[in-house]
Amino acid sequence: MKNLLLSPFEKAPFEHIEISHFKPAFEKALQEARSEIDQITNTSKAPTFKNTIEALEFSGAHLDRLSSLFFNLNSAETSEELQQLAQEISPMLTEFSNDIALNTLLFQRVEAVYDLRGTLSLSGEEEMLLEKKYKFFSRNGAHLSQEEKNRLRAIDKELAQLKLTFGEHVLAETNSFEMHLTKEEHIEGLPEGAREAASQLAASKGKEGWVITLDYPSYIPFMTYASNRELRKKLSIAFGSKGFHKDKLDNQEIVLKIANLRHERASLLGYESHAHFVLEERMAETPQKVKSFLVELLEKAKPAAVIEFDELKDFAFQIDGIKELYKWDGSYYAEKLKQQRFNLDDEKLKPYFKLEKVIDGVFKISHSLYGLSFNEVDDVETYHKDVKTYEVTDEEGRNVALLYADFHPRPGKRGGAWMTSYKPQYQKEGVNERPHISIVCNFTKPTSSKPSLLTFNEVTTLFHEFGHALHGMLANTSYPSLSGTSVYWDFVELPSQIMENWCFEKEALQLFAHHFETGESLPMELINKIKESANFQEGMATLRQLSFGFLDMAWHAQDPSKIKDVKKLEFDSFKDTMLFPDSPETCMSTAFSHIFQGGYSAGYYSYKWAEVLDADAFAYFKEKGIFSKEVAQKFKEYILSKGGTEKPMSLYKKFRGSEPKLEALLERAGLLKKTG
């Protein structure tokens, strides 16, 4: 088969790709990118914004497209062969990135333009690009000695491989565990849909009975509904001990190595810690500010969390005589208490949330707010038959974006949900190149008797990822590295988290929450209960999120060379947020992909930080109406379309008129009422 990856492509040619195509394509793209860099550095012309900064920005475009395609495939449709290839390709890309960052002649040209910035009459966006390019060099070793540069290269190469290995271990652990159940009492309490899915999974493996796995659509229902406490414990410990078995898939040494290499890298560059390095380019700015933010929220949330936990303990004792509540009891008794208090459970709601209707709902809401239309097309190549594709247009019928959507779990796909881009938005030579965006989730598959029905939590997940997708699709900037979600990490969750708010609003739910058999709308009584129950155990949920933020800071805001015991560090960092007794067999860090594989190292606090932004921003929508064209237009203009072309707080204030207030979050979460 002809290798279509060897030259630039418009849409990703998924159906014409063989794994053997990738390496030669990367080798050629790297060669072309190096040649483009050489042209910039070797010209005899004096450095200008256009021949240096802009030229650098648009260099390596084919390599960038190839990389986004390859690494998303490695997450969404991987294989041993692809993983092995990733181990070869990652160091090649790291080396290339370092070759640019440590290219003295190139940096001299960038620095020359940067030093003249006050005299160049640049636009705000051009100034941001210049600053970003300069910081790329200064934050990646341009000022180091040759010996230090060599060490930096070695660190980056090792980190790239360690992060890949970490992720492979987590995926292998997830895929290798299964709980095969053969007795009816083993699945007592499990909803019909979850039973059917477990039965079909068993049958697909040639087994009788039911198979439960660590994939979320299998794991979550079992932990929430299965009445067999011992089996919940077994599953919980398996889930919580990924990478923590002192075997070939153990991640403890890898985690320690990653933390120490990150710290060494930050020290080389003149920073006190990895967190100091990272947070220089965040809204939060310093580890001290992050810790103060986490502590302030902890002080507000902990009293409510303790009240909620005591209620849960009393409830478990009353109905089952449980004297000590453990992690594997939390979801189970919380669901029972929620049903008793609100007479609301996911199984009552699921028939109203057929996946296709929820997708249609998020499309209708996006149309109402931003004038977007989504037309499903079948002539776009995809990497798996489950992937759907949509042409996105505006009110004038102009092309806005191409959207890929991949919703169901399968063995080669990592857990969780994410948004990515196959082609960025940018403007060049008078053409506004439109983006190709993808959202990937892991929702329950349709069964032989039922369509894919979502839990309410899965509905909010879909809206969350779609918020990221809107940020990508509505991008309207000049440069790819400032476009879409290319913003500070503690700002990037605002567009995604604000979208979740519409899931709780009657006017929005009436657009898509219809019973999959009868077509009747979700009854008002259930809508009211969704709203009432929205803050159920919000104190406990907040403490859980804060615990991850504290753990992240424990790894990254200090010298980790003193850390010898991964579990002890974790126990110490959880002490102020811990409600359930610790399980010595489990460890969060060894599977904490967000900070050890993804981009959230020293940035996990961003979720709560962005909640403050989104609560404050949605309060504005509520004031004017949740489908207010005026507020939506401002949100589109100042948040969704601007990407990283201005500082986030400046953009936020243009949208809202003021800085965000913590009170909006506390009020929405119901934490003010519980604590006075």
Summarised one tens digit per residue, pLDDT across range 307-318 is 999 999 999 999
For residue 285, what are its two tokens?
Answer: 């700015």
Q: Tell me the pairing of strands 178-181 and 418-423.
A: unpaired
How many CB atoms sit inside 10 A of residue 351's CB?
19
Q: pLDDT under 70 in the chain at which residues?
A: 673-676
DSSP code for 297: H
Domain boundaries, given as residue ranges, for the chain: 4-143, 177-240
**Residue 674 confidence (pLDDT):** 56
Are the C-beta atoms of residues 338 and 456 closer than 8 Å to each other?
A: no
**Residue 673 confidence (pLDDT):** 66
Residue at 382: amino acid letter? T
For residue 638, what are its two tokens?
Answer: 């100042």
The predicted-structure confidence for 626-674, as pLDDT tens digits, reads as follows 999 999 999 999 999 999 999 999 999 999 999 998 888 998 888 876 5
**Residue 332 confidence (pLDDT):** 97
**Residue 676 confidence (pLDDT):** 45
CA distance 395 to 370: 9
Residue at 559: amino acid letter? D
Q: List beta partners, residue 181.
A: 210
For residue 373, what are its two tokens?
Answer: 């239309």
DSSP code for 5: G
**Residue 74 confidence (pLDDT):** 94
Which region, left, alpha or beta, applies to residue 326 given φ > 0 means left and ψ of -120 to 50 means alpha? beta
CA distance 579 to 562: 27
33 CA to centre of own chain: 29
Type and span of the H or E element at 12: none
Residue closest to 559 by CA, chosen among 266, 270, 148: 266
Phi and psi of 599, rounded to 5°? -100, 20
Angle at 31 between CA 27 and CA 32, to 5 degrees: 120
The position carrying tokens 């990221």 is 468
Residue at 103: amino acid letter? N
CA distance 650 to 635: 13
Q: Where are the beta strands (DSSP E) in 463-619?
A: none
**Residue 90 confidence (pLDDT):** 93
Residues belonging to the active site: 465
**Residue 669 confidence (pLDDT):** 87
**Residue 331 confidence (pLDDT):** 97
CA distance 424 to 154: 30
| Residue 150, CA distances (Å) to 62, 105, 140, 254, 648 in order | 27, 17, 12, 22, 34
CATH for 4-143, options being 3.40.50.720, 2.60.120.10, 3.30.565.10, 1.20.1050.40: 1.20.1050.40
CA distance 52 to 40: 6
